[in-house]
Amino acid sequence: MTAALTLIVGALLSALSPPAASAAGPVPAPAGLTATEVSFQGFGGLTLRGTVLAPQQARGPLPGVVLVTGSGAGVPREHLLTEATEFARRGLAVLIYDKRSAGYTGFRRSYSELADDALGAVRELRSRPGVDPAKVGLWGLSEGGWVAPLAASRSADAAFVIVVGGNAMTPIRQQVWNESSGLRRAGVSGSLIDRGKRNFARLGADAGLFAEAFFDAPGVLERVRQPVLGIWGGRDLQTPPEDNPPLFARALRRGGNTHYTFRFFPEADHGVHVTPDQGLTRGEPLAPGYADLVGSWVRDVTSGRLPEADTAPLPEQDHPSVAIAPSPWWASAWMQTAALTLFVVAFAGYPLVALARRLRGRTVRPVSRWAGLLAGAGLTAAAGLVCYIFYLMAAGRYPDPGPVLAGRPLPWLGLQGLAAAAVCAGAATAVSWRRAAGSVPVAERVRLGLLLTAGAVFVPWAVYWGLLVP
């Protein structure tokens, strides 16, 4: 059954993941810039192709920057063409490249491999005529905000690191915050978010379906010795813009690095683009002043003018992110599978045995009518929880949870009501069986024993998933 769960969740994740892009063609040179096609070797000898944009009238060797994109397989270089164009117009040589699709899926990826790809791009840019090899650094967006520091921690070839919408927390913590944002925008609060969504993410990680879920971002940042520029948009709905900068600062300082600058653009989205609707939609232009900041900061740090713990006031986010640890053994994927199997066998088996007896003309008076309610409510609550959370997952970043009452969607309230009914029915069934213990046939004792065992397991299971928690 664990294998079945893996296949189902894996299929959903694959369906939700962006399709792998085909290799992009040459990028036309934007006005005032040159565009040079390049290729280089990434992890495992994979050939990656890209474009270097640079000012037409460049004087002397230029500082350079390699742009590392966010999540997705085979993301084409054009995805970052706006950033590359604006940075090049600020006097930088900028390399953008087509992201690998080999070995990258919705539930399999390696930040280590992506970091090696980025270092291959750094080596290529350092070798270009007109580029100062001592002044080439890395810029990472979103997922690239994990990859770029990892690459820099491995090689002094990178002169600086810029992260945009980056995270100094685990990917699972960021992802749960991201998904919770969509539900909170719909008015949801309480146990569906605090337990249901959070524990489902942990279950996915247990089953090997959440790649790099517990990636040690602080540990990587402790090994970064280059100056760091961190940039966040105040309307970021994917990365916690208030929680992350202090985490970055603490990790860098633990490693002895105080050469960092943090800046915020209050009305910008996750990628620091303009947004017409508070972060839901990304506009094409960059936030005013963003490209100027990157250009001037790179010139400063590559000229020896290093910042010293230079931070700005933090933006506000509407809810905090929460640290998420791996599931304890008693809530692991195997234990969850065992519990669900028990529920199906015991709760579904109880009425099926009664039906089989009736068809054979053999009836046994039930010890208690409550037993039927326990079986029906328990099975419906367990199956309903799995189906509802799968639905919310498949619905994407901004799901419709249904009508919301007092912070809880009506489907969730219904499941909570069924769970409460199952617990009450279980207690009543146990009392009735105790009173009639001497007159219950052996076969019925086995049937009731299995049912009540499932009912007893159902209680902590329902608490864990939030069905018995407000």
**Rounded alpha-carbon distances, angstroms, from residue 212 to 15, 74, 329, 419:** 19, 18, 20, 34
- Does residue 187 form part of some domain? no
Burial degree of 396 (CB within 10 A; 0-12, 13-18, 19+): exposed
Residue-wise pLDDT for 12-46, tens only, equals 444 444 444 445 578 899 999 999 999 999 999 99
Residue 308's CB is within 10 A of a number of other CB atoms, namely 9
* Rounded CA separation 232/225 (Å): 21
- Does residue 353 form part of some domain? yes
347 and 295 in a single domain? The answer is no
pLDDT of residue 105: 85
- Please name every residue paired with 201 in a beta bridge, in sequence order, or none if there are none: none
- Please name every residue paired with 131 in a beta bridge, in sequence order, or none if there are none: 62
Residues in the chain: 470
Q: Name the domain count of the chain.
A: 2
111 and 219 in a single domain? The answer is yes
Residue-wise pLDDT for 427-464, tens only, equals 999 998 887 766 667 777 888 999 999 999 999 999 99
The residue out of 311, 346, 368 marking a domain boundary is: 311
- Does residue 130 form part of some domain? yes
405 and 461 in a single domain? The answer is yes
Burial degree of 345 (CB within 10 A; 0-12, 13-18, 19+): middle
335 and 294 in a single domain? The answer is no
Tokens read off for 280: 């839901």
336 and 451 in a single domain? The answer is yes
370 and 433 in a single domain? The answer is yes
- Does residue 366 form part of some domain? yes
Identify the segments of the chain with pLDDT beneath 70. Answer: 1-24, 363-367, 437-440
340 and 440 in a single domain? The answer is yes
- Does residue 63 form part of some domain? yes
Structural domain harbouring 437 = 329-465
pLDDT of residue 366: 67
* Rounded CA separation 56/35 (Å): 9
88 and 150 in a single domain? The answer is yes
- Does residue 232 form part of some domain? yes
Residue-wise pLDDT for 373-413, tens only, equals 999 999 999 999 999 999 998 887 788 999 999 999 999 99
125 and 156 in a single domain? The answer is yes
pLDDT of residue 435: 79
44 and 128 in a single domain? The answer is yes
- Residue 50's H or E segment, with its range, is strand 47-55
* Rounded CA separation 94/406 (Å): 51
The residue out of 281, 311, 341 marking a domain boundary is: 311
The residue out of 311, 344, 362 marking a domain boundary is: 311
pLDDT of residue 396: 77
What CATH number is attached to the domain comprising 83? 3.40.50.1820
Q: What are phi and psi of 96, to 5 degrees?
A: -115, 145
Nearest to 239 by CA among 167, 176, 172, 311: 167
* Rounded CA separation 126/61 (Å): 11
Contact 107, 13 (CB under 8 A): yes
Tokens read off for 330: 């008693």
Contact 51, 128 (CB under 8 A): no
Nearest to 145 by CA among 123, 165, 129: 165
* Rounded CA separation 319/241 (Å): 11
Amino acid residing at 109: R
Q: Nearest 5 degrees, angle CA 125-CA 130-CA 131?
A: 40
Residue 442's CB is within 10 A of a number of other CB atoms, namely 7
* Rounded CA separation 447/345 (Å): 11
* Rounded CA separation 139/4 (Å): 40
- Does residue 267 form part of some domain? yes
Tokens read off for 11: 């299929």
The alpha helices in 326-397, defined as continuous H runs, are 333-343, 349-359, 370-394
